[in-house]
Amino acid sequence: MIGIIVFPGTNCEFDVQGAYRELGRDTTIVAHHERDLDDYEAVVIPGGFSYGDYLRTGAIARFSPIMESVIRYAGAGGKVLGICNGFQVLTEAGLLPGALQRNVGLSFICGEVTVRVEQTNSILTCGMTVGEELSLPINHFEGNYTADADTLERLETQGQVVLRYVQNPNGSANDIAGIANVEGNVVGLMPHPERAGLGFGLTDQAKAMLESLLMPRGSRATQSA
Ligand SMILES: NC(=O)CC[C@H](N)C(=O)O
């Protein structure tokens, strides 16, 4: 069972639910005021505009009761995936380094991007192949990943950059589209794999990405490391 966390303003929870339903996986919606995550094999924080993106995107959601549980869950090795606004919440909560700032050009972008898989040591990419490229939808205003030089250096040398844009759409440092924590059990990305073909059938590569979340830790990553 996958727990999908919603805050006021989240709007991609049913996309995530629909995608996992297509994969035959059960999901439950978990409200921001709840605290219990024990029953879930993975937790997804979906996209949207939590608390209207007021103050700074993700900055209010991080104070929700459920985020204390997410921090504990991640600390115990639980799998946490943040998609778009979910990525923004994870950086605000300190579960991932850096921040997402406004896109270069200051426009909301909505379209398809090609991303390259850079690492297979994470819960998002363990069923994929390094160097594999795939097309994923994006729609965001604040997807421009930034971090100080030392953090960027650490992300690169420790293999925490899991996805990179082939053509950078938003000004993200080092073309970063998604990162993991050192352990690989917490991942955030700006593109939306759950929407890749949603309504028409998910693409095979999006399926592989979403299925990765439910693979036993280390199963494929250890083989390909
Ligand atoms: N699709 C989304 O999750 C949007 C993310 C965020 N609120 C932004 O515009 O940057």
58 CB near ligand 1 (under 6 Å): no
Look at residue 200 in the predicted model and tell me its pLDDT: 84
Rounded to whole angstroms, what are the CA distances from 23 to 31, 37, 176, 215?
23, 22, 27, 13
Q: What is the pLDDT of residues 23-38, one digit of tens each?
A: 999 999 999 999 999 9
Look at residue 4 in the predicted model and tell me its pLDDT: 98
Look at residue 221 in the predicted model and tell me its pLDDT: 45
Structure tokens at 168: 């950078």
Catalytic, 140? Answer: no
Domains along the chain with CATH numbers: 2-224 (3.40.50.880)
Taking a C-beta distance cutoff of 8 angstroms, is the pair 165, 103 a contact? no
Catalytic, 110? Answer: no
Task: Please determine, for residue 224, whether its predicted confidence score (pLDDT) is greater than 90.
Answer: no
Q: Which of 32, 84, 92, 142 is catalytic?
A: 84
Backbone angles phi, psi at 45, to 5 degrees: -105, 110
Structure tokens at 64: 């929700």
Q: Whose CA is nearest to atom 7 of ligand 1?
A: 49
Share of the chain above pLDDT 90, in %: 93
139 CB near ligand 1 (under 6 Å): yes
Q: What is the pLDDT of residues 106-149, one digit of tens each?
A: 999 999 999 999 999 999 999 999 999 999 999 999 999 999 99
